[in-house]
Amino acid sequence: MSPRTSLLLFWSLFVLGSAPAQAAYTWIPSAPPQEIEARLARVQADAGAHKAAIAAGKRAAFFCVNCHGETGVSALDNMPNLAGQNAFYLLTQIDKFGDGRRKDAFMSGLVKVLKPDDRFNIAVFYASQPVPPTPAKNPVQAAAAGKHFARACLGCHGVKAYGTREVARLAGQRSAYLIATLKNYRSGSGLRSDSRMTGVAQKLSDAEIVALAAYLGALP
Ligand code: HEC
Ligand code: HEC
């Protein structure tokens, strides 16, 4: 499919997803956490099943490429990379867009066309892809932010900022996206809400957010 055709397709899906006729739409949540984890573990332990889930996820993600890139490495700094992100976290976020706990003009409508199996396979596909770090423009600022990260974030996001389960991977994430996201948690606007992150973000100044984003984006 040409980029143009897929662009048209996802726009029509987006419009459909948000049309008044769909007002009664009910989000089908993904399986409970224990079931998702068990299924992820099964797929990861079986090379054939893993390969099949990746292939199915790549197919189901055909209209995600316009924004998130062919392999989940986004073309634009304000769009998140999905490559290398934790599969469980990706699924949680898709559910959050679907049921309104997270809001975005594009994503909230788009996820509605995904069946639970598509979401699962898409998460496995993106999680399996490598993510290239973006070199920090200001290494001195980045080094100072490294200390801040170790003090305030490492406990949950991990030494290498790879996250775990529902804690996001931050290493190699797009800086402009990280800045916007931390401000969304901090503002309490409801675009992003998470009891663990809101308290953390409220303690951050604009300058600290910029420095942390530069540090994290440059991590391999
Ligand atoms: C029109 C552009 C666009 C398209 C197409 C698109 N996305 Fe997104 N996506 C975004 C933007 C922008 C965000 C960040 C939203 C925010 O700031 O919360 C995002 C965020 C996400 C996130 C959360 C990432 C994170 O780190 O928390 C996931 C998961 C996601 N998209 C999955 C998908 C999937 C799966 C598809 C295809 C079915 C898709 N997206 C298609 C623009 C797009
Ligand atoms: C108490 C645990 C905890 C601490 C401490 C913490 N985080 Fe988080 N963080 C989380 C969780 C859980 C999520 C996923 C929340 C959600 O679903 O929105 C998250 C998500 C994020 C995201 C969104 C990532 C994405 O892809 O959209 C960013 C950015 C982030 N954290 C940055 C930080 C920074 C920077 C610090 C330190 C200043 C920090 N976090 C400290 C638990 C934590």
DSSP for 172-199, please give it. T--HHHHHHHHHHHHHT-SSS--HHHHH
Smallest Cα–Cα separation from 91: which of 129, 113, 119?
A: 119
Please identify, by atom number, the ligand 2 atom nearest to the C-alpha of residue 192. 18
> Whose Cα sits closest to atom 15 in ligand 1?
104
Q: What number is the average pLDDT over the span 169-175?
A: 96
Q: What is the CA radius of gyration of the chain?
A: 17
Please identify, by atom number, the ligand 2 atom nearest to the C-alpha of residue 155. 5
Please identify, by atom number, the ligand 2 atom nearest to the C-alpha of residue 92. 17
- All domains of the chain, ordered by start, with CATH? 3-127 (1.10.760.10), 139-217 (1.10.760.10)
More confident residue, 112 or 17: 112
Whole-number pLDDT of residue 140: 87
Q: What number is the average pLDDT over the span 159-173?
A: 96
Smallest Cα–Cα separation from 194: which of 204, 184, 180?
A: 184
- Ligand 1 centroid–CA 67 distance in Å is 7
Whole-number pLDDT of residue 24: 62
> Whose Cα sits closest to atom 11 in ligand 2?
167
**pLDDT tier, 1 (very low <50, low <70, confident <90, very high otherwise):** very low
Neighbours of 16 (CB within 10 A): 13
110 lines ligand 1 (CB under 6 A): yes
**Six-digit token string for 135:** 């070199």
- Ligand 1 centroid–CA 144 distance in Å is 30
73 lines ligand 1 (CB under 6 A): no
List beta partners, residue 164.
167
